[in-house]
Amino acid sequence: MLAASEAPRPESRADAVETNLLLWWEDFYVPVFKYILPKMGTLEGKKVLELGTGTGGTATLLAKRGASVIGIDLLPFRLAEAKARASEHEVAESVDFALMDAMHLAFPDNTFDFIISKSVLVFTEHAQTAKECYRVLKPGGKAIFIENMRYHPMAWLYRKIFLKYSAKLRYFSIRDVETVGAEFENLEHREFHLSAVGALFWQKCIPIPMFYRWTLRLLKAIDLSVLKCLPFFKRFCWITAMICQKD
């Protein structure tokens, strides 16, 4: 039997991420949410806007943590799916959904404590969306944008070959991150996953789950060290998380 000090410690609530609500690429988004959730602090009674909610995973995750969430999207069928997901997780009364464009928000100034989006700004004109977010955020509020970056070599190749529509999307460079941040008083950002994406070989090409898990863990550790010692390489990461604060 393990001594108490050796037993695996349950994750604190701030660190635990409901992986199933990240919906896809969970192994890669868990570290991103572990970075952003503690920055949001306690969500009890906080008003949150989610841009491009899709099927509502993030909105549901935040509602389960006590937030009152409005999820917007341009696609009515996505909103219907998001509503069903919130009901399934018994948070329907804490989440509202609305058909709305992230670049033209129909909310008064200073409405939300937090705004969050995941893989949505790439569909919009960055500065215009950031301006709208700044307007509807309360003073002291934070906008958190989790986005796909432009220059990750494997992601770049994948998009070129398989995602024809990707040519129209505005993937992020470090300069784009700074452009968004310039609309706010404070910007903090962190980039994720350089070599770790290589682990997908064992998931997508030769599916050997054990090799996938080991390679992923090893490459994530390598990425952490490389990005710490050689920050230049953050521009070649796959995902960026921006935390923009309004004073």
Ligand X SMILES: C[S@@+](CC[C@H](N)C(=O)[O-])C[C@H]1O[C@@H](n2cnc3c(N)ncnc32)[C@H](O)[C@@H]1O
The single residue listed with the structure tokens 């108490």 is: 4
Q: Considering the complex, state which of residue 133 and residue 227 has its C-beta at the smaller distance from ligand X.
A: 133
Cα 146 → chain centroid:
4
Strand, coil or helix: 96: strand
Q: Considering the complex, state which of residue 119 and residue 179 has its C-beta at the smaller distance from ligand X.
A: 119
Widest Cα–Cα separation across the chain: 58
Per the rule left: phi > 0, alpha: psi between -120 and 50, beta: everything else, 209 is alpha
Q: Considering the complex, state which of residue 21 and residue 227 has its C-beta at the smaller distance from ligand X.
A: 21
Q: Considering the complex, state which of residue 53 and residue 215 has its C-beta at the smaller distance from ligand X.
A: 53
The single residue listed with the structure tokens 């389960």 is: 64
* Nearest-approach distance from CB 6 to ligand X, in angstroms: 37
* Nearest-approach distance from CB 185 to ligand X, in angstroms: 24
Phi (first) and psi of residue 106, to 5 degrees: -90, 50
* Nearest-approach distance from CB 123 to ligand X, in angstroms: 4
* Nearest-approach distance from CB 119 to ligand X, in angstroms: 4
Residues that bind ligand X (CB under 6 A): 23, 51-54, 57, 72-75, 78, 101-103, 118-120, 123-124
Per the rule left: phi > 0, alpha: psi between -120 and 50, beta: everything else, 85 is alpha
d(C-alpha 24, C-alpha 227), whole Å: 24
* Nearest-approach distance from CB 124 to ligand X, in angstroms: 5
The single residue listed with the structure tokens 């069903």 is: 84
Q: Considering the complex, state which of residue 215 and residue 240 has its C-beta at the smaller distance from ligand X.
A: 240
* Nearest-approach distance from CB 202 to ligand X, in angstroms: 24
Q: Considering the complex, state which of residue 120 and residue 149 has its C-beta at the smaller distance from ligand X.
A: 120
Q: Considering the complex, state which of residue 52 and residue 141 has its C-beta at the smaller distance from ligand X.
A: 52
Phi (first) and psi of residue 104, to 5 degrees: -140, 85
* Nearest-approach distance from CB 76 to ligand X, in angstroms: 10
Kindly report each contact of residues 106-112 with a partner whose C-beta sits within 8 Å and lies 24 or more positions away, as own/partner. Answer: 107/49, 107/136, 108/136, 109/135, 109/136, 110/136, 110/137, 110/138, 110/139, 111/47, 111/49, 111/136, 111/137, 111/138, 112/47, 112/48, 112/49, 112/136, 112/137, 112/138, 112/141
